[in-house]
Chain A
Amino acid sequence: MSRPLLTAGFLPLLDSVLLVLAHEMGFADQEGFDLALTRETSWANIRDRSALGHFDIALMLAPMPIAASLGLTPLATPMVAPVMTGLGNNAITVSADLWRAMADAGAPGDLEAGPAGLALARVVRTTPRKLRFGVVHQTSSHNYELRYWLAASGIRPDRDLEIVVLPPPLLPEALGSGGLDGYCVGEPWNSVGVDRHGARIATTKSSIWQWSPDKLIGMRADWAERHPDTVAAVVRAIYRAGRWAHEPQNRLPAAEIMARPPYLNLPVGIVARALTGEIDSGVRQLAIPDYFIPHAGAANFPWKSHALWYYSQMVRWGEVAASPDRAALAAATFRPDLYRAALAPLGVPVPAEDYRKDGDRSEPHPTPALGGDLLLGPNRFFDGAVFDPAALESYVAAQRAE
């Protein structure tokens, strides 16, 4: 059999690190395939070129394959996600002016979502014009976590302020030129805003929802069906890349690789921040060890309950009407079965369940696992809410009622 060459799309984001490491560190090679990495300019292109088959696999926003499977995207090609590329890695960054107002309104500058959100709510109430925040794509984790943070802080996202869409690399400059008051984006584009445009990081994804999913490797469902061995090899290569990136001594080398021109083309010092958890918020230096989790706590496992959480947010913000069929389609997009089958030859522990609760644990805790013991990380939402996938309907109903 010939050796597969997979065309893989990605955006210049630190979240692509496991895909890049799979290529650069030989994990793909070890699994018997090659990667042709193609940097794209927009999430829309990633979505369309994946749907058209120009890309075999791509780094995708976690809600993106779900939206495709639900028929919300232009080409509506069903997609699957057999492996996640880590947890966390986003933040909400605001302009120097907005930060000053938030600090005056009581924001302590510790990156905690709760107090920062309350301060922003006070500023929103007293500012005559509507503040404008940027996100990277409509069906993105960023859009949903920004909205979650705003809503739980008493701000109505569609009425009290304006949310616009721009691709990640354009956000810092848009903020610097006064076109935006804030944005939610993956690294390194928060740190770039701090370094080059005087921005301040207001809070992080890891504070809004601890150890939460963000990006994944997505592919067309029919392609995955036709190439089961290749899909398994991809899962293993990403898993191995995650295990490598998990090691503290590999964090700086990973940053050095990502800083190179074909990937981020930025100084290593900026790229390294999220990988080492040494964050410069523009106000102070903070150690946030769980800022980005490439591997620990089953970070690469695609929980069906997480697909359902994204679906709940699509319903919440009016992108799709709730129905049991659509919930089932959303859950079917995430494929823990493919993950387990792919990792079986490695003899590593994998979660035994497909669904879990979120928001109910503030400490690391064991989860039922096959092939060994497995600890999950804390999973609190900053407002104390609990997401129980078994009670999806009441969760959705409660949020819609707000």
Chain B
Amino acid sequence: MPSPDLSILIIDENRIRASIIEEGLREAGHGRVAVIHDVNEVGRSLQQTMPDVVVIDLENPKRDTLEHFFSLSRAIRRPIAMFVDRSDGAMIEKAVEAGVSAYVVDGLKKERVKPILDMAISRFNAFSRLTRELEEARGALEERKIIDQAKGILMKTRGLSEPDAYALLRSTAMNQNRRIVEIAQSLITAASLLGP
């Protein structure tokens, strides 16, 4: 069972990733989730939300700033320790690989926090996967454009049909043990050098 009474603060400059994590936590039954995008706002947020768990992306250069706020908030008796349990090496490893770091109020039971961190880790990983796929899709689109352009050059200069132009690119690539897009790029470069 989730622990709906825990207060969770998510700090992430990436708004999309932050909302993906927030959504996951809400779906899991956590009602007290706050999100901020800039560590500079954290002083006020700590006072307002009194978080039990703080989740921040590891690449955020302001982790030092955040930790300093925590040390100041010792004055209001909110000691916060990093990660769930110092002995839980595998958990920490998974979190760091996913790019998540988390701070948890001292004395909180591990079984209450672990599902929250598991959620944050899996959503971070899902986000990285999405970003990677998007980049790959973008890359594929670029390649497609290059190949289309090379086909166009062959059709014009050699009077080939589109399927024949593509077949020529493909067989050249196979013969030279290179990728079609590389052959296409060379062709475009050569054509621009030789000029009309």
Q: Which A residues lie at the B interface, using CB under 8 A?
A: 41-45, 48-49, 52, 54, 74-76, 136-138, 164-167, 169-170, 179
Contacts and interface: CB of A to CB of B under 8 A. Distances in A.
Interface in B53-80: 58-65, 67-68, 71
Given A44-B63, A165-B64, 10 more contacts: A41-B61, A42-B60, A42-B62, A42-B64, A48-B82, A52-B96, A164-B68, A165-B67, A165-B68, A170-B61
Contacts of B63: 42, 44-45
Contact of A138 (B59, B62, B67): B67
Nearest to A77: B86
Contacts of B83: 74-75
B93 interface: yes
Given A165-B65, A166-B62, A75 B82 contact: yes
Nearest to A43: B64
A76 B82 CA distance: 11
A164 B65 contact: yes
A54 B61 CA distance: 18
Contacts of B101: 44, 48
A76 B60 CA distance: 22
Contacts of A43: 64
A372 to B, nearest CB: 41
A44 B96 contact: no
Nearest to A165: B68
A137 B71 CA distance: 12
A75 B67 CA distance: 14
B119 to A, nearest CB: 21
B64 A166 contact: yes
B92 interface: yes
B61 A42 contact: yes
Closest 7 A-B residue pairs measured CB to CB? A74-B82, A165-B68, A44-B63, A41-B61, A167-B61, A165-B64, A42-B63
Interface string B86-110: 1000001100100001000000000
A167 B71 contact: no
B46 interface: no
Interface residues of B, number: 20
A43 B60 CA distance: 11
Contact of B96 (A49, A76, A169): A49
Contacts, number: 56
A169 B83 CA distance: 27
B62 A52 contact: no
Nearest to B63: A44
Interface string B20-64: 000000000000000000001000000000000000001111111
Given A44-B67, A138-B68, A138-B71, A167 B62 contact: yes
A74 B82 CA distance: 5
A76 B68 CA distance: 17
A138 B64 contact: yes
A51 to B, nearest CB: 9
A169 B64 CA distance: 13
A374 B63 CA distance: 42
B153 interface: no
B81 interface: yes
A164 B69 CA distance: 8
Contacts of A170: 61-62
B93 A44 contact: no
Given A167-B61, A167-B62, A52 B67 contact: no
B76 to A, nearest CB: 16
B64 A74 contact: no
Q: Which of A48, A52, A165 has the most CB of B within 10 A?
A: A165
Given A42-B62, A52-B96, A167-B61, A76 B67 contact: no
Nearest to B103: A74
Contacts of A48: 82, 96, 101
A43 B61 CA distance: 9
Nearest to A74: B82
A74 B102 CA distance: 11
Contacts of A75: 82-83, 86, 92
25 contacts: A41-B59, A42-B63, A44-B101, A45-B58, A45-B59, A49-B96, A52-B93, A52-B96, A74-B81, A75-B82, A75-B83, A75-B86, A75-B92, A138-B68, A138-B71, A164-B68, A165-B65, A165-B67, A166-B62, A166-B65, A167-B62, A169-B61, A170-B61, A170-B62, A179-B40
A53 B92 CA distance: 12
Given A48-B96, A49-B96, A137 B61 contact: no
A74 B80 CA distance: 10
Nearest to B80: A74
Nearest to B82: A74
Nearest to A170: B61
Contacts of A169: 61
Interface string B148-170: 00000000000000000000000
Contacts of B65: 164-167
